[in-house]
Amino acid sequence: MFGSLKVRVVIAAAAAAVGTVGVAAQPASAATGTATITGTGAFAVGLGVSGPAQAFNFTGQGAVATTTVQTTLACAIAGYDNVGSVLQGQGNFNGNCVTGAGGVAVAGNFTRAGTFVNVAGAANGAVTGSFTGSCVFAPLPGVTTNPIVVRVDGFAVTCVFAIT
């Protein structure tokens, strides 16, 4: 071995300090990874054959695995469907998710064709980055009896997202 123990300890301590400063000095960057979420939601009025446009809410649970966070998540989302028909939808959403690493604010847009939903948006907080993904939409029908009307009052979804 070369050098004294005291010199090697000082060099090791200096290297550790430089590494810590280097990590602290790095700029914040987006996480990359995936997330999945499954849950249910409700429409304000209920999807009909030709609308109307309407608000909706959604709650779900899942998991996120990125370069910065690997944990469970629970989300509460509010949105607006500008089309509101059984066959198609399009609109925006925003809300918050709670993870084991802290809160995440999310916002984005969606398009729905039948039971397939495309989603794109941004996350900020414990997970930061853009996300895109797809969801399988399962309508939950409702019926009124006076007059008799069948509509989609709620939904269940399972989504998979890529985070960049």
From CA 80, how far away is CA 73, in angstroms rounded? Answer: 23
Residue 88 lies in a domain: yes
Residue 4 lies in a domain: no
* Residue 113, domain extent: 33-163
Closest to 123 in 3D by CA, of 148, 105, 102, 136: 105
Instruction: Evaluate if pTM is beyond 0.75.
Output: yes
Cβ proximity of 99 and 70 under 8 Å: no
For the stretch 61-88, pLDDT in tens is 999 999 989 999 999 999 999 999 999 9
From CA 96, how far away is CA 129, in angstroms rounded? Answer: 14
The domain total for the chain is: 1
For the stretch 5-33, pLDDT in tens is 333 333 333 333 333 333 333 334 578 99
Residue 119 lies in a domain: yes
